[in-house]
Amino acid sequence: MVQADFTCCNDGSGALILSLSGDWLLANELPVPTKVLDQCRTSPEIRSISFDSRQLGSWDSALLTFLLSLIDQCTVLDVSVNREGLPSGVSRLLALATTVPERKDARRSASREPYFARVGGAAVDVWCSLLALLDFLGEITTAFWLLFSGKTRFRRSEFLLIIQECSADALPIVSLISLLVGLILAYVGAIQLRMFGAQIYVADLVGIGMVRAMGAIMTGIIIAGRTGAAFAARIGTMQVNEEIDALRTTGISPVEFLVLPRVLALTLMMPLLCLYADLMGILGGLIVGIFVLDLNVLEYYTETIKAVGLVNVW
């Protein structure tokens, strides 16, 4: 395989002869037309370029890429290119490549949508989302009415499995997150309360904080991210597999058969998970109170009982 190369020769009549030699293949290290273009710029008398391909060996698209780049640059410099000295195959491919040039306005230009059009589009999207939400709430309300009247159709065994998924299967992640939240609340409060000898009020801070807000918030986030995502993925897969269409075909409401058991299971289990999260958060505060603040377990328990009442739970 001979290395691809070219030489330039000015014939003195305003034409530059480009002699091609070697194998112009993609596997070879190919030259660039910089030398030819520099000579055209430094010699204003050069008005055309011709080719001598008698020493040319094998070639592929690498030669075509070189020639197209050269032709484009010569067009900018107002130098004509004579293709008669090229092999017939190269000439035909060059003619085919340059027959239909790219349209300058073919690509769509990026245009910013007017302000009122964007506001109107956003308002329409919000309105459509609101209608979809109202439609969903209406279907859920109807399904609950049928449930209380004993006319719903869903599998009780699957309902028990959904309850297990919403409760027992979620306990490990709820325990971990709630315990860590309790630890953080207690540690942050301990830094400030220790300055004036009020370490015992860490129990009040953690107890009220977990029972009033943090327990329910963290439980809701965990259930939405874990169980809610699992429900959405499962129902979405059924939609793709046309299982929901099959339910409608057989006269079974997908809301009654799929959505109602999951909403009912979440309604029953969320209060219990919130109470469990509250207890785990208080346990995290107890750990900080014992090992960091040197509090007694009975002291911490008594102060928590005094600070947290049913009014905080509800």
**pLDDT digits 0-9 by tens, 19-56:** 888 888 888 777 887 877 777 787 777 788 888 888 88
HEC sequence for 11-42: CCCCEEEEEEEEEECCCCCCCCCHHHHHHHHH
Q: Any alpha helices (H) in the chain, and if so which ranges? A: 34-42, 61-76, 88-99, 115-148, 156-166, 171-193, 202-209, 215-223, 229-240, 243-249, 254, 260-291, 297-307, 310-313
Supply 126's token pair.
């919000």
Supply 183's token pair.
């630890």
Class assignment of domain 5-99? alpha beta
Q: How confident is the model at residue 256 (pLDDT cuts 50, 70, 90)?
A: confident
Mean local confidence (pLDDT), 11-21: 79
Tell me 7's DSSP state. Answer: E
- Of 217, 223, 182, the closest CA to residue 203 belongs to 182
pLDDT in tens, 210-241: 998 888 899 999 988 888 888 888 888 988 88
% pLDDT > 90, the chain: 16
Res 129 pLDDT > 90: yes
The Cα 210–Cα 281 span in angstroms is: 6
Q: Which of 77-86, 124-133, 160-169 has the lowest mean pLDDT?
A: 77-86
Other beta carbons within 10 Å of 19: 17
Better-scored residue on pLDDT, 280 or 22: 280
The Cα 254–Cα 143 span in angstroms is: 10
Res 101 pLDDT > 80: no
Better-scored residue on pLDDT, 208 or 17: 208
Domain boundaries, the chain: 5-99, 122-152, 154-313
